[in-house]
Chain A
Amino acid sequence: MIEFLMSFWQTYNTLFYTIMVHGMLALSIYITLACGQLSLGNAAFMGIGAYTAALFTMKLNAPFGLALLAGGMLPAFVALIIGAPTLRLSGVYLAMATLGFGEVVRVVFLNISITGGSVGLNGVPPKTELWHLFLVMGVLIYFFLKLKNSRFGRAMEAIREDEVAASVMGIKTTWFKVWAFAIGAFIAGIAGGLNAHFTFFLSPREYGFDFAVDILTFAILGGTGTFWGPLVGSTILTIMPEMLRFIGPYRLALNGLILVLVVIYLPNGIITVKKKD
């Protein structure tokens, strides 16, 4: 039995690590969606976090905790700079700005020498342990639980529902949107740092537009009414391709089909919150 568990873990521990990291990324986009804003920059924020944390441990020999913190802070800071002007406006400006931003980040990673250019960074020390993932995920769940029933969570819901109405309630809409965006970037950066320290290798190609859309899909599939939705969505979307491995070459097609069916039959996502009516 123990042997079986050991070998199971040997085979699937990477999958489990990936589920946790994807869960964090799903939460990172959820917090902007909770203010009615669409960010397509979270893959890029993850990338900035990954490179920053990796460079801190590799070049500066910094303790892992400090490296992770730096990997969260830099993307959050960048998000404040992008968010402050674009989030003054309502509508799709953030989506457009972050779309462009993701491309800029990719090109920068490809062309500066400290990130290893197109080759990427090799030999990131394996420092991420299981309890790190549990700790970070635990803190995030705690944060979102507290946010949910607080005045801040309610203000965000109000902004998502109707920004104009929220503003005449005295809610500082820009302030909330910018902070939500920055906190999302912070979470994505931490996820990037954790990911970098178990995959060993960083490539600029991992943080492009495709992955930004994957992150969005995690949240949309799971449902954005509560933060549990994105967590469920990211878990399913990470496990499903593995479960479908046995059917061989058509697995990606089946994967896609399942997604389409979910979107058709559960347009609000898998997890929906329904109040009495």
Chain B
Amino acid sequence: MLQLENIIKDFGGLRVLDSLSLQVEEGLIFGLIGPNGAGKTTLFNIISGLSRPTNGQVIFNGTDITHFSPSSIAARGMGRTFQNIRIFKELSLLENVLAGMHCLYTYSPVAMLLNLPIQRQEEKVMREKAMEILDIFHLTGKAQRQAESLSYGEQRKLELARALATSPKLILVDEPAAGMNPSETEELMGEIVQINNRGYTICLIEHDMKFVMGLCQQVAVLNFGKLIALGTPEQVKCNPLVIEAYLGKDAC
């Protein structure tokens, strides 16, 4: 589904990603872990088109998307969330999700101006769909509220809901559990499994090891921009390089 070939990213003289090659298979929950500054978020930015690699290729469903714009990558079925939450604060929850559905709409500006049946029909269907998505995250009760009024954990969930609304084939999730309390984290794990069961492939970055090890079928470990391990959570946990660079002895 997603193939990274020899990705290099330099910021000035600093090599943040170093000849990184990886593959994410369809249907997985794939984990990307590593110490702070390892280059995880930078890699997400490159995959989603927000940043260009210095060298290398990103292949998504057989198409080389390395130089595509973020919006056309999104339109091809890639959704994402951000480490520092980027919801539309002034909009309601429902409007956030509807904005995420932008590419699913088909009606034209003319249909908008003339208020044609296709517009009314589509708006109705999309609203129902949006409510279903909010329901996964137990947010339907707050659909009309301003997004800013949500708690930190709920904002993260709303952002995930909005990413899901784009109907992506692959969702990149950057530290979804950051700032959540244990019960929220637990709930989120259930919701991610639920999304995955619906057929969405998920690639997530997370520092909470219980979260990663409990959810992911496959884990990649980055350190200083290099892939140092790849495998099942069990394999990765006890890899000496990973123990030394990131997890410590107790993890194994």
Q: Interface residues, chain A, CB within 8 Å of chain B? A: 143, 146-147, 149-152, 154-155, 157-158, 161-162, 164-173, 225, 274-277
Contact = CB atoms under 8 A, between A and B. Distances in A.
Contacts of A155: 99, 102
Given A154-B98, A276-B144, A277-B146, A168 B88 contact: no
Q: Which of A143, A165, A173: most chain B Cβ within 10 A?
A: A165
Nearest to A167: B70
B149 A277 contact: yes
Contacts of A274: 146
A151 B107 contact: yes
What size tier do the contact residues of chain B reach?
A: 35 or more
B112 A170 contact: no
A164 B95 CA distance: 17
Given A168-B80, A169-B162, A161 B88 contact: yes
Task: Name the 6 nearest CB pairs between A and B, nearest first.
Answer: A277-B149, A170-B74, A170-B103, A161-B88, A167-B70, A275-B146
Contact of B69 (A149, A150, A167): A167
A217 B46 CA distance: 40
Given A171-B71, A173-B71, A275-B146, A154 B89 contact: no
Contacts of B87: 162, 165
Contacts of B107: 151
B86 A167 contact: no
A277 B98 contact: no
B50 A169 contact: no
Contacts of A275: 90, 92, 144-146
B119 interface: yes
B80 A150 contact: no
Nearest to A147: B112
Given A152-B109, A154-B95, 19 more contacts: A143-B113, A146-B113, A147-B112, A151-B105, A154-B102, A155-B102, A158-B91, A161-B88, A162-B86, A164-B70, A165-B88, A167-B50, A168-B49, A169-B74, A170-B102, A170-B103, A170-B166, A275-B144, A277-B148
A169 B91 CA distance: 15
A171 B99 contact: yes
Nearest to B115: A146
A152 B105 CA distance: 10
Contact of A151 (B50, B82, B90, B102): B102
B99 A166 contact: yes
Contacts of B91: 154, 157-158, 161
A161 to B, nearest CB: 4
Contacts of B70: 164, 167-168
27 contacts: A143-B113, A149-B123, A151-B101, A151-B112, A151-B123, A154-B91, A154-B98, A157-B90, A158-B88, A161-B88, A162-B88, A164-B50, A165-B86, A167-B50, A168-B49, A168-B79, A169-B74, A169-B100, A170-B71, A170-B74, A171-B99, A171-B102, A172-B69, A275-B92, A275-B146, A276-B146, A276-B149
Interface of B: 48-50, 69-75, 78-80, 82, 86-92, 95, 98-103, 105, 107, 109, 112-113, 115, 119, 123, 144-146, 148-149, 162, 165-166
A172 B91 CA distance: 19
A160 B109 CA distance: 20
Nearest to B119: A150
Nearest to A175: B71
A15 B162 CA distance: 48
Contacts of B88: 157-158, 161-162, 165
A172 B80 CA distance: 16
A172 B71 contact: yes
Nearest to A156: B99
A116 to B, nearest CB: 38
Contacts of B80: 168
Contact of B89 (A161, A172, A276): A161
